[in-house]
């Protein structure tokens, strides 16, 4: 895919992030269909509801290269105020059951974290943010293609467009200041998650 891909030209940063999350879910469910990815999915889809700085920080807990550095919950809890003991134990057990977990899987789960690391919305560096999110999409789609995995339906994120930052109704709805209108923070996109929706269906059964 070309970095100039016009599909995403009017899509907000958070809309692009959601697309990458959809790609990640396809990757996980195709290559590791017998694993429980619920905790990972919950952390992913919590991010769009928050500011980029908060969502990015909380999401980082699920990256294998990060969480596996810690031998026990007490060590990681000093660094993270969001991860519960149950989540820590579920993630470490999950990753220890996967061979070469710090290879491509770590790369895939680290792509959103790298996006957040550079695209800190509090600095409103929109040009850098737009460039970085497009690079992330290129990398993510290339990985899916390499495994013969079908890409997500772009139309599912087409509603997450950039908005007029002067729109007071939009700002009130978000509860988050977005001075540029390109970040699109503060959305509930859980309906895009195959993993979370499977969990909900199981709970209702």
% of the chain surpassing 70 pLDDT: 75
pLDDT at 176 over 60: no
Query: Buried b vs exposed e over 167-184: b needs ≥16 C-beta within 10 Å?
Result: eeeebeebebebeebbbb
Place of tokens 């959809």: 22
Q: Average pLDDT of 60-83?
A: 84
Query: How far is the C-alpha of 53 from the C-alpha of 193, rounded, in Å?
Result: 22
Q: Would you give the end-to-end CA distance of the chain in angstroms? A: 41
Domains of the chain: which residue ranges?
A: 6-186
Confidence (pLDDT) at 138: 93
The encoded tokens of residue 166 equal 């002067």
Q: What is the pLDDT of residues 83-106, one digit of tens each?
A: 899 999 999 999 999 999 999 999
The encoded tokens of residue 81 equal 């105020």
- CB of 48 within 8 A of CB of 178? no
pLDDT at 56 over 90: no
Confidence (pLDDT) at 8: 87
pLDDT at 123 over 60: no
pLDDT at 121 over 70: no
pLDDT mean across residues, the chain: 82
Confidence (pLDDT) at 133: 81
- CB of 41 within 8 A of CB of 198? no
Q: Average pLDDT of 9-17?
A: 86
Q: What is the 3-state secondary structure (H, E, C) of 117-177?
A: HHCCHHHCCHHHHHHHHHHHHHHHHHHHHHCCCCCCCHHHHCCCECCCCCCHHHHHHHCCC
């Amino acid at each position: 895919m070309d970095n100039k891909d016009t599909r995403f030209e009017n899509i907000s940063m958070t809309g692009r992030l959601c697309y990458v999350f959809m790609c990640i879910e396809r990757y996980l469910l195709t290559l590791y269909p017998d694993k429980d990815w619920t905790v990972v999915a919950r952390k992913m889809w919590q991010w769009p509801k928050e500011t980029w700085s908060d969502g990015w920080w909380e999401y980082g807990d699920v990256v294998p290269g990060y969480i596996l550095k810690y031998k026990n919950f007490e060590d990681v809890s000093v660094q993270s105020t969001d991860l519960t003991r149950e989540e820590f134990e579920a993630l470490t057990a999950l990753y220890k059951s996967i061979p070469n977990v710090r290879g491509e899987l770590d790369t895939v789960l680290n792509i959103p974290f790298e996006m957040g690391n550079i695209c800190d919305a509090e600095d409103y560096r929109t040009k850098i943010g737009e460039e970085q999110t497009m690079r992330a999409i290129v990398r993510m789609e290339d990985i899916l293609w390499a495994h013969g995995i079908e890409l997500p339906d772009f139309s599912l994120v087409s509603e997450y467009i950039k908005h007029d930052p002067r729109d007071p109704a939009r700002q009130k709805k978000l509860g988050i200041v977005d001075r540029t209108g390109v970040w699109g923070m503060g959305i509930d996109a859980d309906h895009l998650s195959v993993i979370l929706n499977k969990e909900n269906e199981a709970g209702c059964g």
